[in-house]
């Protein structure tokens, strides 16, 4: 019944009523002329019923024959609906545009999911995938999953397995990380171990290769520590990939300079927020104008999901805080404090947790500023591999 009702609605039908002498004759003539009248009712000599719009156009003669005067009381169906809105061009254009967008966008990658043991979809991984042609907004008609997969594996040796599957406009990437031991095996080119820095050898732990230094011996940068050329008992030589940990006591003299006249970076309290709506690879700015340089930015990305599925658009909000540089003149004491701060930063970057002891720092005051130097004694691994054959 639902199918019949929907068919009638699509084709369009009318409810009619009529007064006349022979309503029964009218029904019989309709039946004989293949005109379908459904739910006819006769009440107080008035006939009412339903009929298809095309059939209604054909009943004029029949109505005349049966002495009936008919009129339409209700119009229902899609043809009438179209007729009602035919002057509203926006509706058909909108409907056409909707279908066009649906069909057009289905030809592009709208979502990428990455799965695998311990593999996370980070920005770094997203960039690596993008370099192999797997990115949101990619035209799928020209996309070859197998080529992209091979390209990704060649460029990223840390993954041993990759599978790229396309499901509609969704790309799912499955990755397996390479075992670290296997990675080492893969890079087994013959090499020596040389000294990175000058120092006094404290401990040598050689996994492969022939040790060429003794404990307590002093070495200069570039000196051979573990050789990759091994002599066998039958007096033949073999090249191996040397691996060793060489702990040595090293001396580092660090010096920093703090000028009297310097520029101080000042952040303003005013924060300007700018948002961008990103659909696939298209950025739609939600602002007008530009932010004056210099500034510092903090980005926030808001991703939209429906039922756990990431949608192909996101909102990127950047917070700009303006920076001003102020010229300041330091006195000797504050310059010394500034130099000490600089030294701390330098140690953090260069020596990390290797410092064993240090000498007292020395200040040297000049016209331009203060030099601060300090000697550190560290225990560090000075092993550095160098290929034997180039």
Partner 1 sequence: MANVKNKLNRINKCFDLPEGLITGEIFIELMANKQAVLEGKCSVLQYSDTQIKINTGNGTIEFFGANMCLDTLNKEGAMISGTIQKIEFS
Return the number of the residue (50 or 376) whose C-beta is nearest partner 1: 50
Applying CB under 8 A, which part among 19-27, 130-138, 286-294, 366-374 lies near partner 1? 19-27
Return the number of the residue (43 or 180) whose C-beta is nearest partner 1: 43
Return the number of the residue (27 or 191) whose C-beta is nearest partner 1: 27
Size of the site for partner 1 (CB under 8 A): 16
Q: Token digits for 13? A: 């039908």
Compute the least distance from the CB of residue 165 to partner 1, in Å.
54
Does 335 bind partner 1 (CB under 8 A)? Our answer is no
Does 37 bind partner 1 (CB under 8 A)? Our answer is yes
Compute the least distance from the CB of residue 79 to partner 1, in Å.
22
- What phi, psi does 100 have (nearest 5°)? -65, -45
Beta-carbon count within 10 A of 337 CB: 13
Q: Tokens 């010096």: give the residue.
A: 255
Query: What angle in degrees, to the nearest 10, is found between the helix axes of 123-131 and 145-155?
Result: 120
Applying CB under 8 A, which part among 36-44, 118-126, 162-170, 371-379 lies near partner 1? 36-44
Long-range CB contact pairs, 118-124, < 8 A, 24+: 118/177, 119/175, 119/176, 119/177
**Residue 375 contacts residue 252 (beta carbons within 8 Å):** yes
Applying CB under 8 A, which part among 24-32, 242-250, 329-337, 368-376 lies near partner 1? 24-32
**Residue 210 contacts residue 244 (beta carbons within 8 Å):** no
Does 109 bind partner 1 (CB under 8 A)? Our answer is no
Indicate which single residue of 32, 141, 237, 333 sits in contact with partner 1 (rule: CB under 8 A): 32
Indicate which single residue of 20, 40, 116, 133 sits in contact with partner 1 (rule: CB under 8 A): 40
Return the number of the residue (31 or 301) whose C-beta is nearest partner 1: 31
In the 8-state DSSP scheme, what is residue 190? -
Query: Which residues, in sequence order, are CB contacts of 245 under 8 Å at separation 6+?
Result: 203, 204, 205, 381, 383
Indicate which single residue of 7, 24, 179, 387 sits in contact with partner 1 (rule: CB under 8 A): 24
Indicate which single residue of 27, 70, 162, 343 sits in contact with partner 1 (rule: CB under 8 A): 27
Indicate which single residue of 5, 6, 11, 41 sits in contact with partner 1 (rule: CB under 8 A): 41
Query: Which residues, in sequence order, are CB contacts of 301 under 8 Å at separation 6+?
Result: 314, 315, 316, 317
Nearest to 360 by CA among 340, 380, 334, 379: 340
Indicate which single residue of 23, 209, 312, 369 sits in contact with partner 1 (rule: CB under 8 A): 23
Give the CA radius of gyration of the chain.
Answer: 42
Indicate which single residue of 1, 3, 39, 293 sits in contact with partner 1 (rule: CB under 8 A): 39
Coil, helix or strand for 336? helix
Compute the least distance from the CB of residue 25 to partner 1, in Å.
8
Nearest to 28 by CA among 47, 44, 8, 52: 47
Compute the least distance from the CB of residue 49 to partner 1, in Å.
9
In the 8-state DSSP scheme, what is residue 236? -
Q: Which residues bind partner 1 (CB under 8 A)?
A: 23-24, 27-28, 30-32, 34, 36-43
């Amino acid at each position: 019944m639902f199918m019949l009702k929907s068919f009638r609605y699509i084709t369009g039908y009318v409810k009619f009523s009529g007064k006349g002498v022979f309503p029964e004759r009218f029904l019989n003539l309709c039946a004989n002329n293949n005109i379908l009248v459904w739910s006819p009712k006769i009440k107080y000599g008035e006939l009412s019923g339903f009929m298809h719009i095309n059939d209604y156009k054909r009943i004029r003669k029949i109505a005349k024959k049966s002495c009936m005067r008919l009129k339409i009381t209700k119009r229902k169906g899609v043809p009438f609906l179209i007729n009602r809105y035919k002057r509203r061009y926006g509706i058909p254009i909108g409907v056409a545009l909707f279908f066009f967008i649906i069909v057009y966008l289905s030809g592009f990658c709208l979502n990428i999911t990455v799965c695998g043991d311990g593999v996370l979809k980070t920005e770094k991984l997203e960039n690596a995938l993008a370099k192999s042609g797997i990115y949101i907004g990619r035209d799928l008609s020209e996309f070859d999953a197998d080529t992209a997969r091979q390209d990704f594996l060649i460029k990223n040796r840390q993954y041993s397995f990759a599978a790229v599957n396309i499901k509609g406009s969704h790309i799912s990437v499955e990755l397996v990380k390479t075992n670290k031991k296997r990675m080492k095996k893969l890079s087994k080119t013959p090499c020596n171990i040389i000294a990175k820095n000058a120092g006094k050898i404290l401990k040598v732990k050689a996994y492969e290769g022939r040790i060429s230094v003794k404990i307590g011996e002093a070495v200069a940068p570039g000196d051979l520590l573990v050789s990759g050329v091994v002599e066998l008992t039958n007096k033949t030589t073999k090249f191996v990939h040397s691996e060793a940990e060489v702990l040595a006591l090293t001396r580092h003299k660090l010096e920093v300079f703090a000028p009297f006249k310097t520029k101080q970076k000042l952040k303003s309290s005013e924060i300007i927020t700018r948002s961008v709506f990103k659909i696939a690879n298209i950025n739609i700015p939600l602002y007008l104008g530009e932010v004056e340089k210099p500034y510092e930015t903090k980005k926030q990305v808001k991703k939209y999901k429906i039922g756990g599925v990431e949608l192909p658009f996101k909102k990127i909000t950047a917070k700009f805080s303006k920076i001003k540089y102020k010229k300041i003149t330091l006195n000797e004491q504050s310059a010394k404090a500034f130099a000490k701060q600089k030294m701390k930063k330098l140690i953090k970057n260069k020596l990390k947790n290797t410092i064993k002891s240090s000498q007292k720092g020395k200040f040297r005051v000049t016209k331009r500023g203060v030099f601060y130097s300090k000697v550190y004694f560290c225990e560090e691994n000075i092993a550095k591999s160098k290929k034997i054959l180039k």
